[in-house]
Structure 1
Amino acid sequence: MKYLYMNEQERQMQYYQFPKFLLELQLSQNARIIYMLLYDRARISRKNNWTDEDGRVYAIFPIEELSQKTGKCKSSVKKALKELDDAGLLIRKFGGFSKPRHM
């Protein structure tokens, strides 16, 4: 068996940031993972100055894409998004006719 050790190459490894406060909330693991993905997408949106009329950063992350990234079915993703909504960690706004929602 070959072991991998930390070295200079580790700096090149891509990773997601996991906010510590998520461990203190009553959320499913799916909701935590989806929050982490949304947070990462929002950081990119901030760099691209994607803000709404109130100056809040928003991200566009279609449910189909979230489903593929997490390996979960769409209904599991929708349930996790509702959990985040109920916990006050996410606001979803209608994006327009046949357009994805802003989160």
Structure 2
Amino acid sequence: MTNTIYIHQPEKAVSFIRLPNSFFEAPTFTPLSTEAKVVYAFILSRTDLSRKNGWADEYGRIYLYYPINEVVELLHCGRQKAVNTLRELQYTGLVGIQKQGCGKPNRIYPNYEAVPNTDFKKSGYGTPEA
């Protein structure tokens, strides 16, 4: 097997995404779709980069940009599915989304202490479209 990793083999440039265990263990996250969990994991990885680059608003809250077209590419889905996935994260409180206007991408504010909203699919709160 040529793809086997050996203990004395030098590390290759392989990156991994962290996915919180609570998404699969806590009943409060049961309604959250797998796609939303994956997108949130990618948002968390970008959060580290935003922190390193000093991307914070006037209140010190870290933000990042994750345009809809990048979510489409990540999930290999249509635009509406990507919008709905970000909406799902917004409704569950895992992210806050602030519209920039003038063709600029929305700011996404990750939240580590989400307040679950199990009716997020029926909610009319906001829209993350950019």
Q: What range describes the TM-score normalised by the shorter chain of this pair?
A: 0.7 to 0.9
Corresponding residue of 2:14: 13
Letter in 2 for 1:5: T
Quote the Cα distance in structure 2 between the aligned partners of 1:18 and 1:82: 19
- Select the residue among 93, 97, 102 that pairs with 1:97: 102
Alpha-carbon distance in structure 2 between the residues aligned to 1:42 and 1:95 = 19
Indicate which of 88, 91, 95 corresponds to 1:86: 91
Q: SS at 1:95's partner residue?
A: coil
| TM-fit CA distance, 1:20 | 1.3
Point out the structure with max Rg over C-alpha: 2
Aligned to 2:42: 37
More strand, by proportion: 2
Give me the identity figure in percent: 27
Q: Which moved more, 1:55-64 or 1:6-15?
A: 6-15
Partners of 2:57 and 2:22 in 1: how far apart?
26
Please give the secondary structure, in 1, of the residue aligned with 2:77. Answer: coil
Out of 6-15 and 33-42, give the one that drifted further: 6-15
Q: Cα RMSD between the aligned structures? A: 1.6
Opposite residue 71 of structure 1, the aligned amino acid is H
**2:117 aligned partner:** none
Q: In structure 1, list runs of 5 or more residues that go unmatched.
A: none
Deviations 1:64-103 (Å, cap 9, x if unpaired)?
0111122121111111111111111000001231100000
**1:11-64 superposed Cα distances (whole Å, 9 cap, x missing partner):** 531111111122231210110111011111111101101001111100001000
The structure richer in helix per residue is 1
- Could you list the structure 1 runs, at least 4 aligned residues long, displaced by more than 6 angstroms after superposition: none
What corresponds to 1:4 in structure 2? 3
AA at the equivalent of 1:4: N
Structure 1 counterpart of 2:74, one-letter code:
K
